[in-house]
């Protein structure tokens, strides 16, 4: 259950760290997985709660990270932590920048892509219901380096102990601090001013706020994450790959439970931004990215890559690469077709083997079966484009358009030199280079007349296998 807008004052996303273990020119929180950056996933989870304010703390590469944060959430407040002096210091910068906040304040991180809005909502709701000053999100499992949750004999929260400071018995505790908290905003604003740097790192730790509030006699509670993996952060490329696999598995599971068939989950990758209709089937070695939408009953794969592409109901794609294309219902594509941006294909059309399309519209029921390039063109309903046809759209300086009418027939190995129009019901002869319009119902022929030179091989290729074969057959034909 998510908290109401009136009770949730803010979500603060800490994203100021450098992330040196990524060994990258890209800021850590801007590395991507499953269609969003690490920061994008954190912001999406925060947005699920519809807080009054969404605050992102930036530091390292502050301009780049700040721009990305605003792109993901235009309403976000950006607070700069010029020196990264700890999580408590980051939160203090927020309060000094925008002031104390009345109500619940959630603090989370820009490098925890598996953390769901549902979990943060549960944390906030139970925090409010219990009347706590602070509620700690915890998890059970194996989290080396994480702080442990120490409880009394009755199971009540006592304190958080960092691993480096823990006794052997405390290190055996299997409940860990995620670093995410729900605070009473007013109490947080008071306690954060009392955090010191009296530690080995000389930094201000947010965990100290928990100790301060408990020392003041305020109630402190905990909420256990339903899925322990949610609290895992990403600090290097290995952890990024592990998070990507875990998140992809979650996405696939949700789709399968919603009525989508995933033939081979191990080889299928789908972004969080993709939508798939019921009874669709996704084949092995398929990747669906960006704003791709798959209609009900469509079959995509095996071996497809779709980027920002719409696929209509009951369409079928096999070994196809499609970028920013619109594919209508009952369309069949492939194998080995390439749809570039600006392509739209209407109901029931067929795009076959080794066909490339760019910035073109294919009408209902039209067929482009094999070995064809179609660029900057409109092909009418029911038209057939013969094998090996080239739509020659580029003159070296400008692109030009080709118009092919309805129920036309373009012969194999035709070159249509744009700009040119093939009328409704018109034909072009195989092997033609069409440079002038072909009116409706006409046959366009643009090729040299065939001439056979009698006996050329026998005269010019004596002693070859071709000449021997020709001699034998000419002898047979003369009998």
Q: Would you please indicate which residues are annotated as catalytic (active-site) residues?
A: 370
Tokens 């009953």 belong to 297
Tokens 């509620």 belong to 135
Token output for 354 = 């080794």
* 210, 133 Cβ separation under 8 angstroms: no
Alpha carbon distance 10, 185 (integer Å): 9
Residues 20-58, buried b or exposed e (16+ Cβ, 10 A)? eebeeeebbbbbbbbbbbbbbbbbbbbbbbebebbbbbb
Token output for 181 = 């908290």
Cis peptide before 302 (omega within 30 of 0): yes
* 274, 258 Cβ separation under 8 angstroms: no
Strands (E), 84-152: 104-109, 134-140, 148-151
Alpha carbon distance 441, 405 (integer Å): 10
Cite the DSSP H helix spans in 219-364: 237-257
Alpha carbon distance 87, 358 (integer Å): 50
Alpha carbon distance 209, 458 (integer Å): 99
DSSP lists the bridge partners of residue 139 as 176
Phi then psi for residue 477, to 5 deg, are: -70, -25
Tokens 């209902």 belong to 364
- Residues present in the chain in total: 479
DSSP code string of 29-81: GG-EETTEEHHHHHHHHHHTT--SEEEEEEBTBHHHHHHHHHHH-TTPEEEE-
Burial class (CB in 10 A: 0-12, 13-18, 19+), 78: middle
């Amino acid at each position: 259950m998510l908290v109401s807008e009136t009770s949730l004052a803010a979500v603060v996303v800490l994203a100021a760290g450098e992330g040196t273990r990524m060994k990258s020119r890209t800021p850590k929180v801007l590395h991507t997985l499953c269609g969003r950056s690490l920061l994008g996933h954190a912001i999406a989870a925060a947005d699920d709660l519809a807080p009054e304010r969404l605050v992102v703390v930036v530091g390292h590469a502050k301009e780049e990270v700040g721009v990305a944060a605003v792109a993901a959430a235009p309403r976000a407040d950006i607070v700069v932590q010029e020196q990264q002096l700890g999580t408590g210091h980051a939160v203090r910068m927020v309060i000094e920048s925008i002031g104390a906040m009345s109500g619940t304040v959630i603090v989370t991180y820009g490098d925890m892509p598996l953390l769901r809005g549902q979990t943060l909502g549960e944390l906030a709701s139970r925090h409010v219901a219990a009347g706590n000053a602070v509620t700690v999100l915890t998890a059970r499992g194996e989290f080396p380096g994480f702080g442990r949750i120490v409880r009394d004999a009755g199971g009540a929260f006592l304190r958080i102990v960092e691993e480096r400071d823990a006794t052997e018995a405390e290190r055996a505790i299997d409940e860990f601090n995620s670093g995410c908290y729900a605070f009473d905003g007013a109490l947080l604003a008071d306690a954060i001013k009392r955090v010191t740097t009296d530690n080995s790192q000389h930094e201000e730790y947010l965990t100290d706020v928990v100790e301060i509030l408990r020392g003041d006699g305020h109630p402190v509670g905990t909420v256990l994450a339903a899925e322990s993996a949610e609290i895992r952060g990403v600090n290097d490329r290995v952890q990024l790959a592990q998070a990507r696999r875990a998140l992809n598995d979650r996405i696939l599971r949700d789709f399968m439970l919603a009525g989508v068939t995933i033939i081979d989950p191990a080889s299928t990758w789908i972004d969080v931004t993709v939508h798939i209709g019921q009874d669709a089937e996704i084949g092995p070695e398929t990747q669906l990215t960006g704003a791709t939408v798959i209609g009900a009953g469509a079959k995509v794969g095996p071996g497809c890559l779709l980027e920002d592409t719409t696929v209509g109901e009951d369409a079928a794609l096999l070994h196809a690469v499609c970028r920013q294309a619109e594919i209508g219902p009952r369309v069949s594509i492939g194998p080995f077709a390439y749809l570039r941006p600006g392509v739209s294909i209407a109901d029931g059309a067929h795009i076959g083997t080794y066909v490339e399309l760019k910035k073109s519209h294919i009408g209902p029921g039209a067929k482009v079966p094999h070995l064809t390039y179609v660029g900057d063109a409109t092909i009418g309903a029911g038209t057939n484009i013969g094998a090996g046809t080239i739509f020659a759209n580029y003159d070296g300086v400008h692109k030009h358009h080709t118009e092919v009418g309805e129920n036309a027939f373009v012969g194999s190995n035709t070159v249509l030199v744009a700009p040119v129009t093939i009328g409704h019901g018109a034909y072009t002869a195989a092997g033609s280079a069409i440079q002038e319009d072909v009116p409706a119902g006409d046959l366009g022929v643009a090729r040299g007349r065939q001439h056979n030179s009698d006996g050329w091989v026998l005269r010019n290729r004596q002693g070859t296998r071709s000449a021997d074969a020709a001699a034998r057959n000419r002898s047979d034909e003369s009998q």
